[in-house]
Structure 1
């Protein structure tokens, strides 16, 4: 554990120096052997650190010369500001804006930068169809019967096996299936809260979570969040007396795309457990990492059963299948009672098919290709933004996931930009959707889960030109 901490600390330290300009583009870095000697780490660990930085496009290897700081133009773009939400609960949804954006769902005439899911062109559709047919053959009565309340055994077994990659060590009996990650989050919130309770969230936050919280009558506290490391723990500590439940997306949060460092995750889990505040963890993006290995979850550090870990394949494999799950820790009985009332059973055939897909190893093969595509897309998007967007534009540095957060100079209102872009058959997600407060009007989220084409490049250029005219 200490070795992992040192590895992450060294990699993060070098990454921060590159991002903040302490290490300049083109500058040569210490050799693998020198890094090994300086920090008293093995040669293999030193190599892993450079591979990690290379995966984030921060360094470039040169044959016979070593590693150099990447000279890519987009790294010169500054990071978005640390969010500064008001330290008071607000429940002001931009309902008209959200309704307008979501009404575009399913439109084939638009370039959909607005929805954070991978394009069907990036998914193994033919293989999934075969799994559906196979599941229909294998299940009793062709899958027409209700399944166990806790959910499909094969799916739970495969999810528990995959948890070993992030030190989750889950067993199939620790899991309950749900109809997508949002369904799992809803079950958690219904089990843990009553109307009037206060929920703490990162700011900015996924609009669906905000809408869910408001629909349940909860007060929402948005907590200051850094675009690289995630939620500000000091800000969270200051708000603890008011918080009943905390919901975080520490791995590749949408819209910022950061990955909260392991030590910060550990500190958050310990802090909330000491104050008996349940932590709901949305890990829907955890498998979409750009680094060399899958990041740990808050659940990895959970010793009291206080973390309710939720995830799905909606962001990685099949958004429309609605296959999700939750490891609810000590709250398992509460969730099972609620599932009995609100869902009873998932769609048996679909959950069996996904369980089969995970079991064959095809899922991991698909993820390797998808992660590579998303990382390349990020580079393409960032280069286009650096070239075509207004001076002073800032962008996030996603370490995985499907989102790129863009912050324009203050005079540009992205709700207005949304209307101009729609006239050009382009749909974006304005920043005001990601908060219940009066902030992020000059920001937007772009989905990087679209196949990169000349037409997509043109749409980004058009979007930049529209922003320039504003």
Structure 2
């Protein structure tokens, strides 16, 4: 364990120096032998450090020369702005563009920059298929019978077993399974809110969350959000008297990809607990970090059971499986009552298969590969945006997740860009989808979970050209 800790520590230290400009692009790193001396590690460990940094696209090997820091294309573009929404709650219906964009889901003839899930080409479907066959043999009745109300025991045990990675300390009795992540959020809101209540969220916010809140007869209060550090905690503090629930995606929220610092997470948890306001934490992207360590969750700092931690495998493993879960803290009884009314039971066969996939270690192996691909994609996207998009374009700098937020020059309407791009078989997610207010008209979210190919690069080039056309036509 000590060697593993030391290896991770060295990787994290060098990665931090690169990302913060202490070691600059093009600079040569210490040799393998020198790294051994500097950190008192073995030759094999030093080589592993370099391989890990290379896998993160932070360094590159030059034959007979050594390792050098790669050029970081994201630094060539300015950072997108923090949002500045009105701090007034609204129950305005979400923009109809949401329905239009999501109707494209599953369209094989479109390049779906608009749908925030990893491509099936990046997912281990063949291995999952084998797990389903094994699950039919293991479960009583081949999976045809009802399972316990809390959900599949194996899945709950494995979710709990993985919780120390993000600072949690859960056991299987803390978990309630659901039919996907949105089902988890829906249960939480139905259990805790009454019609007319106000829910505080990030701005911009996932469109499905906005639609869910409004459909339940609730109001949305959008919080100012920084593209790197997440919500403005001081703004949250100001609106505490007016809200009933806070629903946040602290780790790599879509569309910005921001990640709240640990001290901000702890402050939010404490602030809400003091006012007895529940925090629904959507951690669906937490496993998709680009760095060396998984970030902590707000649930890590929860001592009162006031945080309802939700997640699923929809963004990491199998969107169509609809497997999710909640650690509802002190609200467990309310959640179980709702699940009994609305579901009775989850799909035991699929949950058993996912539980087995976790237990076998295949999930961690898959995540390592997926994270490297997503980070590499992110860099490729930014390089293409810098090269092909209008001058003045800004982007977020996600530290994980599946999205990049693109802010085009003022006056470039991304609803018009969407309509133009569709004619070229390209679908984007206009910024107006991610808010109930009049903002983000010149922004869009792009999904980075597509396999990087020359064709995809050409599609981004086309999109950049179309953006320039829209800009000139304003």
Structure 1 length normalisation: TM-score?
0.89
1:94 shift after superposition: 4.0
8 A contact 2:94–2:433 mirrored in 1: yes
Determine the C-alpha separation between the residues in 1 that align with 2:412 and 2:50. Answer: 38
Q: CA deviation at 1:96?
A: 2.1
Whether the aligned pair in 1 keeps the contact of 2:179 and 2:323 (CA below 8 Å) is yes
Please give the alpha-carbon distance, in whole angstroms, between the structure 2 residues aligned to 1:15 and 1:396: 18
What does residue range 306-385 of structure 1 map to in structure 2 within 5 Å?
A: 306-385=306-385
| Contact persistence 2:176–2:327 (CA under 8 A) | yes
SS at match of 2:96: helix
1:208 aligns with 2:208: yes
Superposed, 1:2-401 pairs within 5 Å as 18=21, 71-401=71-401
Distance 1:11-1:444 versus aligned 2 partners, 3 A rule: farther
User: Are residues 1:427 and 2:427 paired?
Assistant: yes
Query: Kindly tell me: are residues 156 and 309 of structure 1, through their superposed partners in 2, closer, same or farther at Cα, counting changes over 3 Å?
Result: same
Distance 1:15 1:27, change over 3 A: closer
2:458 corresponds in structure 1 to 458
Distance 2:80 2:52 in 1: 23
Write the distance in 1 (CA, Å) between the matches of 2:55 and 2:241.
Answer: 40
TM superposition shift of 1:29: 9.7
Task: Report if aligned partners of 1:11, 1:49 keep a CA contact under 8 Å in 2.
Answer: no
Q: Aligned-pair distance for 1:263? A: 1.4
Alpha-carbon contact 1:288-1:367 (below 8 Å) kept: yes
Indicate the RMSD between aligned Cα atoms, in angstroms: 3.1
| Structure 2 SS opposite 1:224 | strand
SS in 2 for 1:265: helix
CA distance in 2 between counterparts of 1:54 and 1:167 reads: 27
- The verdict on how the C-alpha distance between 1:439 and 1:43 changes in structure 2, with shifts beyond 3 A counting, is farther
C-alpha distance in 1 between matches for 2:121 and 2:303: 41
Supply the distance in 1 between the matched residues of 2:19 and 2:238 (Cα, whole angstroms).
26
Q: Deviation at 1:379?
A: 0.9
Q: 1:74 to 1:165 in 2, by over 3 A?
A: closer
How many pairs are equivalent?
Answer: 457
Shift of 1:59: 7.0
Following superposition, the deviation at residue 95 of structure 1 comes to 3.5
Cα deviation digits, residues 315-355 of structure 1 (max 9, x gap): 00000000000000000001001111011111111111111
Deviation at 1:400, TM superposition (A): 0.8
Q: How far 1:30 sits from its partner (Å)? A: 11
Flag the 1:85–1:42 CA change in 2: closer, same or farther, 3 A.
Answer: farther
Q: Structure 2 CA distance, aligned partners of 1:225 and 1:42?
A: 38
Runs of at least 5 residues in structure 2 that lack an aligned partner in the other structure: 1-8, 33-37
Q: What residue is the counterpart of 1:37 in the other structure?
A: none
8 Å contact from structure 2 (residues 94, 211) kept in 1: no
Matches of 1:170 and 1:205, distance apart in 2: 28
Return 5+ residue gaps in structure 1 as ranges: 1-5, 33-40
Distance 1:132 1:53, change over 3 A: closer
Q: CA deviation at 1:145?
A: 1.0
Alignment partner, residue 5 of structure 2 = none
Q: Deviation string for 1:67-99 (max 9, x for gaps)?
A: 977533331101110100001012334442111
Q: Deviations over 1:347-374 (max 9, x none)?
A: 1111111111111111111111111111
Q: From the superposition, tell whether residues 67 and 299 of structure 1 become closer, same or farther in structure 2 (CA, over 3 Å).
A: farther
8 Å contact from structure 1 (residues 308, 327) kept in 2: yes
Q: Deviations over 1:169-209 (max 9, x none)?
A: 10000000000011001000111100110100011110010
- Paired residues of 1:55 and 1:292 also in contact (CA < 8 A): no
Question: 2:35 maps to which residue?
Answer: none
TM-score when scaled to structure 2?
A: 0.89
- Whole-Å Cα distance in 2 between the matches of residues 203 and 85 of structure 1? 7
Whether contact under 8 Å (1:51, 1:292) holds in the other structure is: no
